[in-house]
Amino acid sequence: MAPDYQTLLLAIGLAGFCLSATLFASWMSARVERFLLSWSIGIGCIVPAVAVYSLYIDQASVAIGCLAFALQFLGFAFIYGAAYRFRSGKRARRRIAAVLAGCLAVALPPLAAGYDGIGFIVLNLLIAGSLVATAREYWRGRAEAPLPLIGIVILYLLTAASFLICAAVLLHDGKWVMGHAPDNWAETLNLIAAIMGITGIGAMSLALNQWRIAGRHRRAAMTDALTGLLNRRALFDRYGVLPVGEHQAAIAFDLDNFKAVNDRYGHAAGDAVLMVFADVLRESCGAAACLARLGGEEFVVVLERTVPDRAQRIAERIRQDFAGKLIPIGGRSITCTVSAGIAFAGKDCASFDSLLSSADRALYMSKRNGRNRVSLAA
């Protein structure tokens, strides 16, 4: 091997070590995004794989070759597992183990039998396949952050292509038994592509992690921590600056005698009641409505492109479903009710604030008339 090839190997090792340390430090700072930990382990396995492969270049023994193969497969299996964990949020241990076991079972026998040329062809094909599978996982999750994820996919596919070229050149040469490490232009191209891939993918993965952290903070600022619904700020950010739609409706809800529940059973019981009501809202409205908790026991549902009859049916269904819920509290079950008021967009409700005010007036009409009922704004 030419000295330049050894220099490229050294560059990959150093780049991999720095990236692995950076990814691990990023994971340690929050310990939330575990895909960073898997990515760090995967790149960390590539570093000793490069070192062992350098030994194989100087002394092409079967044992050293098998160790270099195993470390590479382990690293790329963890990199694939990181992509799967990023997309799905699920543990990837079984997938990592399956990828590693499959690669070892296919690639090591020909190398151990002395057909090292076949072994290297299989090695390149399997690594290319794992990189394509990794790119596929990021492609499937690209909706979260299209720009960095598409960039990551492209870099993975380019790196996979360099491994395919290595396999193609070895197949063309037809040397099934070489007795030394492959030495051709494709190997040099592969190392350059790997350096570019490690650098680019590492930078984009760190940017992706920051994207997720920012998104998590943004969602936390716009979401009610107890119920998971939008909070007042998010509701007014969405509707407060826009003119009211022609067929828009707002339904204001207020739990009846909620203070008595807190006084009698405690605030934990009150929280349980609020969460049950939030679940009733989700079940009754689905994705066709905007659901928000304004504070305390006050909630609002905003319906787009709706008609009065439909809004009334939804409000009545929510009222009836909640009244029929048995809420377990400290070894017993209680029931609660809710009052509602409905307002529709019109010339008297030209802004979202006036629409909510009109729904509130209808809600207090329900309260005055005995609670556990739905009233329409005048």
Q: What is the pLDDT of residue 80?
A: 94
DSSP lists the bridge partners of residue 340 as 253, 374
In a domain, residue 27? The reply is yes
Q: Are residues 180 and 250 both part of a single domain?
A: no
Query: Looking at residues 236-243, what average pLDDT do you find?
Result: 77
Q: Are residues 99 and 161 both part of a single domain?
A: yes
Cα torsion for 99, 153, 215, 199, to the nearest 10°?
90
Q: How confident is the model at residue 315 (pLDDT cuts 50, 70, 90)?
A: very high
Q: Are residues 238 and 183 both part of a single domain?
A: no
From CA 35, how far away is CA 86, in angstroms rounded?
A: 5
| Triad 354, 358, 361: Cα angle to 5° | 140
Q: Is the dihedral of CA 215, 218, 222, 224 positive or negative?
A: positive
In a domain, residue 288? The reply is yes
HSE on the CB side for 346, CA within 13 Å?
10
Average pLDDT along the chain: 88
Q: Are residues 156 and 304 both part of a single domain?
A: no
Question: What is the domain-level CATH number for residue 25?
Answer: 1.20.1070
Q: Give me the percent of the chain exceeding a pLDDT of 70.
A: 96
From CA 364, how far away is CA 27, in angstroms rounded?
A: 51
The mean-pLDDT minimum among 11-25, 38-52, 271-285, 287-301 falls in 11-25
End-to-end Cα distance, the chain: 87
Q: Are residues 269 and 358 both part of a single domain?
A: yes
In a domain, residue 227? The reply is no
Give the model confidence (pLDDT) of 303-313 as tens digits. Answer: 988 888 889 99
The mean-pLDDT minimum among 216-225, 237-246, 290-299 falls in 237-246
The whole-model pTM stands at: 0.68
The first and second tokens of residue 157, run together, are 């596919």
Give the model confidence (pLDDT) of 109-151 as tens digits. Answer: 999 999 999 999 999 999 999 999 999 999 998 888 888 889 8
More confident call, 180 vs 30:
180
Q: What is the pLDDT of residue 348?
A: 67
The helix or strand, by DSSP H or E, that contains position 128, with its residue range, turns out to be: helix 116-140
Backbone angles phi, psi at 375, to 5 degrees: -125, 150
In a domain, residue 39? The reply is yes
Q: Are residues 37 and 67 both part of a single domain?
A: yes
From CA 94, how far away is CA 57, in angstroms rounded?
A: 33
Q: Are residues 279 and 322 both part of a single domain?
A: yes
3 has a pLDDT exceeding 60? no
Give the model confidence (pLDDT) of 250-305 as tens digits. Answer: 999 999 999 999 888 888 999 999 999 999 999 988 777 899 999 899 999 999 88
Coil, strand or helix: which one is 354?
A: helix
Q: Are residues 66 and 200 both part of a single domain?
A: yes
Give the model confidence (pLDDT) of 142-189 as tens digits. Answer: 888 888 889 899 999 999 999 999 999 999 988 899 888 898 899 889
Coil, strand or helix: which one is 192?
A: helix
Q: Which domain holds residue 35?
A: 3-220
Query: Which amino acid is located at 153 in the chain?
Result: V
Cβ neighbours around 185 below 10 Å, total: 10
In a domain, residue 315? The reply is yes
Q: Are residues 276 and 182 both part of a single domain?
A: no
From CA 233, how far away is CA 125, in angstroms rounded?
A: 53
Look at the chain and report how many structural domains it folds into.
2
Q: Are residues 270 and 192 both part of a single domain?
A: no
Give the model confidence (pLDDT) of 287-296 as tens digits. Answer: 778 999 998 9
Q: What is the pLDDT of residue 338?
A: 95
Residues sharing a CB contact under 8 Å with residue 236, sequence separation 6 or more, in sequence order: 352
Q: How confident is the model at residue 2 (pLDDT cuts 50, 70, 90)?
A: very low
Question: What is the domain-level CATH number for residue 369?
Answer: 3.30.70.270
Q: What is the DSSP string of 234-281?
A: HHHHHHTTSPPPTT-EEEEEEETTHHHHHHHH-HHHHHHHHHHHHHHH
18-46: b (≥16 Cβ within 10 Å) or e: ebbebbbebbeeeeebbbbbbbbbbbbbb
